Chains A and B, each alone.
Chain A
Amino acid sequence: MRTTIQVLVLFLLAALAGAATNWLRPTGALPWVFDRRLLAPPAPVTPPGGQAPADIPLAEILAASGAQGQPGVPRLIDARHREAYEKGHIPGATNVPAALLPVAPQFLLMRAPPDQPVILYCTGGDCDESNRVWEQLRALQYQRVRIFHGGWAAWEKSGHPIERGPDPLPLGK
């Protein structure tokens, strides 16, 4: 009983110390509740009809998939980890795992120069990899980056062809 009370007191003291140091932080306090808008790319503009912002249509992804490598065509980038990519991905998409990009931006630069439009996708739904790659791309001065929010789940569900196997472009050892 005594140990349990001491554990609870230590938990409470840690919260107080965290609050105090955060309040005194010279660079400004970190909000206690994370604001997800800080992460997500700007939401698409709502069309005049008042409909909900639409995701990139599957038809556009399909067209881009069939024309990878041609000038002006957005580069499809799969932001999931390598194993997921190798099990199945949108045909023609290249793999830049979100976890790898911060330490190895050269893998992205060899796949798409900063002036090329890029479409990112990850698992779909609530996946976060595309958001994280989006942040990195913006830091690397890529100007035309969009996210296919439906992601792999929407593509797989649509019944369009899928491609399996490793990315022919290297991702290091």
Chain B
Amino acid sequence: MAQLDDLDLSERLFLKGYPFKRYAPRPDNPVITATTPLRKPLAECTVALATTAGLSLPGQPPFDTTIKMGDSSFREIPSDVAPGLLEMHQRSWAFDHRGVLQDRNLALPLDRLHEMQKRREIGAVAPRHYSFMGSIVGPAKLIKASAPEVACRLAADGVDVVLLTPV
């Protein structure tokens, strides 16, 4: 089980002092209090994945690990990619990279999603999935630009459900 105490002292102190409250739900902000109930059975839903593992396709520009406030950009991952081909570019060493490097499904469970579709537990696998790098210390751009852009693309693909995974 992961606990804050597992992290380095510097990481722990950083998280302790970080103003999470600034980005926590407030009743006056519709974006952060919105709830979308499931409208149909999961077996009829189109499902997409999103992760902050920093995965990208070999031809895509890697995430920029040098941006001080964090790289808030995202990469589109097509559903038919072989997960083993995905590269991982990560600024964070707060987590053990070895698991994801052994099996990308640990962060982006595309193979499992396809299996669920074959078993008819979900309706369809979305055509596109999304990867961010995380380590976004200053999330203003994420909130204003990249997260809404991804939401818009997911909606355009007719996605009903998204499973998100941190690392």
Q: Do A and B come from one complex?
A: no
